[in-house]
Amino acid sequence: MSADGPPPGTRSDWTIDQDWQSYTPAEHQVWMTLYERQSRLLPGRACDAFLHGLDALDLHRGGIPDFSRINAELNRLTGWSVVAVPGLVPDAVFFEHLANRRFPAGRFIRRPAQLDYLQEPDIFHDVFGHVPMLTDPTFADYMQAYGEGGLRALDRGQLHNLARLYWYTVEFGLLDTLQGLRIYGAGIVSSHAESLFALDDPSPNRLGFDLERVMRTPYRIDDFQQVYFVIPSLQALLDATLQDFEALYGRLALSGDIPIAAIEPGDQAFTRGTQAYAAAKAKMA
Ligand code: HBI
Ligand code: FE
């Protein structure tokens, strides 16, 4: 990890003012375009906790949300708040915020030419994608537990494995419900194309969540996932963080990684993917 301090104009905890007044009409329009498209697509796809959170925070009104407005409601519901940061922050800073029920969100918004993909998390990914789930008390506790676990993992040099848990849950997680699979991961709900792919495409594997299994599985940051992990409930996800991570890290050091598209004997396969999408992409490269 780099020892770089915060850039000029940034506080020592890497936060900045959101400076809501300075967003341009064109920037608000980008939010509205993305919001319209996703809010139309997500009923019947995103889980109830996400859809309720989206409603409760009223993220539509007036374009890009003002953090001071959403924080009043978010704080009342679960004690969380959103703080503005310039972009990616160092791991230790990120975890310190989560451990204190603060979610660091980028203040910038993607340009109209980048509606479908950008590398760094912007305010649409961070606020539309992440913040609705933070209105759910169980998920809110999970995120705090993750931040606390992140700080311990950093101390022990185990972040490599723990980051996979974040990726396959907070970013790309699916939830099993009586009505079928639903999305709760922010990387999916903030992406039009992946909101379709993650649930409907025959390519990816969809496997039952198992903490140790997830931590042994590499992920891709540059394209649709080849595997999604399905939790039975948000409570089960929170409960998974109660086990002894020290013992877990010890086992992980011996067991090694599982190839990204593999299905192992112990896996609960909701979908055995064709991997056709990833195979076609690999051929093009
Ligand atoms: N910074 N702003 C921001 N957002 C993140 O999601 C983030 C970060 N810094 C580090 C980080 N994530 C990773 O530690 C986690 O994804 C594991
Ligand atoms: Fe994210």
pLDDT band at 1 (very low <50, low <70, confident <90, very high): very low
CA distances in angstroms from 161 to 152, 153, 221, listed in the order given: 12, 9, 15
Contact 250, 244 (CB under 8 A): no
CA 148 to ligand 1 centroid distance, Å? 14
**With 70 as the cut, is the pLDDT of residue 280 above it?**
yes
Please state the atom number of ligand 1 nearest to the C-alpha of residue 104. 2
Please indicate, yes or no, if residue 2 is contained in any of the structural domains: no
Mean pLDDT over the full length of the chain: 96
8 part of a folded domain: no
Domain contains 260: yes
| Domain with 158 in it | 20-284
Q: Does 119 reside within a domain?
A: yes
Closest atom of ligand 1 to CA, residue 87: 2
The answer to whether 274 and 227 have CB atoms below 8 angstroms apart is no
For residue 143, is it within any domain? yes
- Other Cβ atoms within 10 Å of 205 Cβ, number: 21
Number of domains in the chain: 1
Query: Quick one: which ligand is closest to 96's CA?
Result: 1
Indicate which atom in ligand 1 lies nearest the CA of residue 93. 9
Distance 265 CA to ligand 2 centre (A): 31
Residue 2 scores a pLDDT above 60: no
**Is ligand 1 within 6 A of the CB of residue 34?**
no
**Span 85-111, average pLDDT:** 97
The answer to whether residue 4 sits within a structural domain is no
Phi/psi of residue 183, nearest 5 degrees: -90, 135
- With a 6 Å cutoff on the Cβ, whether 201 touches ligand 1 is no
Pocket test for ligand 1, best of 1, 15, 85, 91 (most atoms within 8 A of CB): 91
Determine phi and psi for 190, rounding to 5 degrees: -90, 0
- Looking up residue 141, the CATH number of its domain turns out to be 1.10.800.10
Distance 276 CA to ligand 1 centre (A): 30
pLDDT > 80? residue 4: no
Q: Of all protein residues, whose CA lies closest to atom 17 belonging to ligand 1?
A: 163
- Burial status of residue 5 (CB atoms within 10 A of its CB: 0-12, 13-18, 19 or more): exposed
Q: Say how far apart CA 118 and CA 31 lie, in whole Å.
A: 14
43-78 pLDDT, tens digit each:
999 999 999 999 999 998 779 999 999 999 999 999
Candidates 1, 13, 18, 89: which one to mutate for ligand 1, based on the most atoms within 8 Å of Cβ? 89
| Residue whose tokens read 């598209």 | 261
Give a yes or no: residue 158 inside a domain.
yes
Flag whether 206 is in a domain. yes
Q: Is the CB of 94 under 6 A from ligand 1?
A: yes
Q: Mind listing the pLDDT tens digit for each residue in 227-275?
A: 999 999 999 999 999 999 999 999 999 999 999 999 999 999 999 999 9
Nearest ligand, measured from the Cα of 163: 1
Distance (Å) from CA 126 to ligand 2 centroid:
6
Distance CA 53, CA 131 (A): 8
pLDDT band at 119 (very low <50, low <70, confident <90, very high): confident
| pTM score, whole prediction | 0.96
Per-residue pLDDT band for 281 (boundaries 50, 70, 90) equals very high
Given this model, what pLDDT does residue 3 score? 54
Is residue 143 in contact with ligand 1, taking CB distance under 6 Å? no
Take atom 9 of ligand 1 and give the residue whose Cα is closest: 89
| In the predicted structure, residue 117 carries a pLDDT above the cut 90 | no
